[in-house]
Amino acid sequence: MYNIEEELFISYKYDVKKLKKYGFKEEKDSLVYEKNIMDDSFKVEIAISKDKKVNLIVIDNAFGDEYTNFRMEENQGEFVASVRENIQNLLLDIRNNCYQKEQFEFNQTLRIVNLIKEKYGDVPDFEWMDDPTCGAIKHKDTLKWYGLIMGIDYSKLEENKKGYIEVINLKIDDKKIPDLVHENGIYPAYHMNKKYWITVTMDDKQEDSSIMKLVDESYQFAANGKKVRKGTTNEWIVPANPKYYDLINEFKGKKEAIWKQSSNIKVGDMIYLYVAAPYSSIMYKCEVIETGIPYEKKAHSNIKELIRVKLLKNYEKGKYSFKLLNDYGVMAVRNSRFMPEELSKYINSKEKENKDGRK
């Protein structure tokens, strides 16, 4: 079951005055709010307890019964997706107007972040609007990840444990992993390739020095990657989530678009826009024609500047699918990353074949 309210409010702290101004009312030990959505077809009832827990119930007004289909991830039909989107938009609006982000709650997380900053000069990069507890730590030269800090429920690691926990994912020699995951506080990687990554909890089950040794090893893997070529054109794979931005319609009849700027992308670089499910493919090839455009909307503080891109090519859905990217070593497209040289050669060879075939 999809607990949308838990995911959106993890690591956020509410402001009672702002909640009351928004329309929440005190009832017993909770603050409650009701709103009809989708032309009054559904009523959303929200109750926030003193321990920060958000409880959400959705009522189908036509029948007076609770509607739970939106919680079932296997339900991907157009109607249920619309209900899910409306609920999410309401929750995000409440979060943006009444909550303040708590970047980290655990003392060990704060210590490890500071140790990484002192040693390598790198800090977590929070790029996901839908998951503000995720911060990627990237090598400044290669831009490859060597750490991913997340706030998750403990049940993601151990079925019988519950409660909020902060963790860090690290890339480790795969020969060491079978032994490491038997240590206290170390698990097979959550949300990443378990063959090469581990998850370490930040609840002092491991000493800071032990975690930093693992960080150092992960850093070395990232250091061996391809470096950003300053002063030359780089190629990037950049993710686009259709849940939050309709890029498909944006490019209909247009040759330019505005996009979120990632570090180290510059004018003249080529970006390949990977559109997530239901497309799960590289759909566009663009050239960056302007950078450093100020971002006017302040609701999402993780977006600071924008870029302007010019459309060069558009590709059919599935032509450069995630499966193909996998074959060239791309295991995930969670934020901007280098285009693998061999994949670039493959795509450009296909473009040349198409061009030659039209002559």
The CATH code of the domain that includes 338 is 3.10.590.10
Q: What is the number of domains present in the chain?
A: 3
| 196 inside domain | yes
Boundary of a domain, candidates 223, 244, 260: 223
State whether 179 and 290 are in the same domain.
no
pLDDT of 309 > 80? The answer is yes
CA–CA dist 211, 213 (Å, integer):
5
CA–CA dist 273, 47 (Å, integer):
39
State whether 166 and 213 are in the same domain.
yes
Boundary of a domain, candidates 223, 255, 279: 223
| 230 inside domain | no
| 82 inside domain | yes
State whether 81 and 170 are in the same domain.
no
CA–CA dist 71, 1 (Å, integer):
5
State whether 191 and 172 are in the same domain.
yes
Query: Between 319 and 191, whose confidence is greater?
Result: 319
206 phi-psi bin (left φ>0, alpha ψ -120 to 50, beta other): beta
CA–CA dist 68, 195 (Å, integer):
36
User: Which of the four pLDDT bands, split at 50, 70 and 90, describes residue 240?
Assistant: confident
| 229 inside domain | no
User: Which of the four pLDDT bands, split at 50, 70 and 90, describes residue 131?
Assistant: low
What confidence score (pLDDT) does residue 300 get? 43
CA–CA dist 315, 120 (Å, integer):
39
State whether 112 and 149 are in the same domain.
yes
State whether 84 and 133 are in the same domain.
no
| 320 inside domain | yes
State whether 184 and 244 are in the same domain.
no
What confidence score (pLDDT) does residue 50 get? 81
Taking CA 253 as the corner, what is the angle to CA 249 and CA 256, rounded to the nearest 5 degrees?
Answer: 85
State whether 200 and 117 are in the same domain.
yes
What confidence score (pLDDT) does residue 39 get? 93
State whether 90 and 140 are in the same domain.
no
Can you read off the two tokens belonging to residue 275? 């559109």
State whether 183 and 262 are in the same domain.
no
CATH number at residue 118: 3.90.1150.30
Average pLDDT of the residues of the chain: 86
Task: Pick the closest to residue 7 from 161, 110, 134, 97 (CA basis).
Answer: 134
What confidence score (pLDDT) does residue 276 get? 86
What confidence score (pLDDT) does residue 146 get? 93
Boundary of a domain, candidates 100, 132, 158: 100
What confidence score (pLDDT) does residue 303 get? 66
pLDDT of 340 > 50? The answer is yes
State whether 20 and 116 are in the same domain.
no
| 211 inside domain | yes
User: Average pLDDT for residues 203-226, to the nearest whole number?
Assistant: 92
Strand ranges (E), the chain: 12-14, 25-27, 30-37, 42-49, 54-60, 65-66, 99-101, 135-138, 145-153, 164-171, 186-188, 197-201, 235-240, 256-260, 270-275, 281-294, 305-314, 337-338
Can you read off the two tokens belonging to residue 44? 């959303």
| 228 inside domain | no
Q: What is the pTM of this model?
A: 0.50
Which domain range does residue 294 map to? Answer: 235-358
CA–CA dist 192, 190 (Å, integer):
6
| 195 inside domain | yes
pLDDT of 76 > 70? The answer is yes
State whether 87 and 40 are in the same domain.
yes
Amino acid in position 265: I
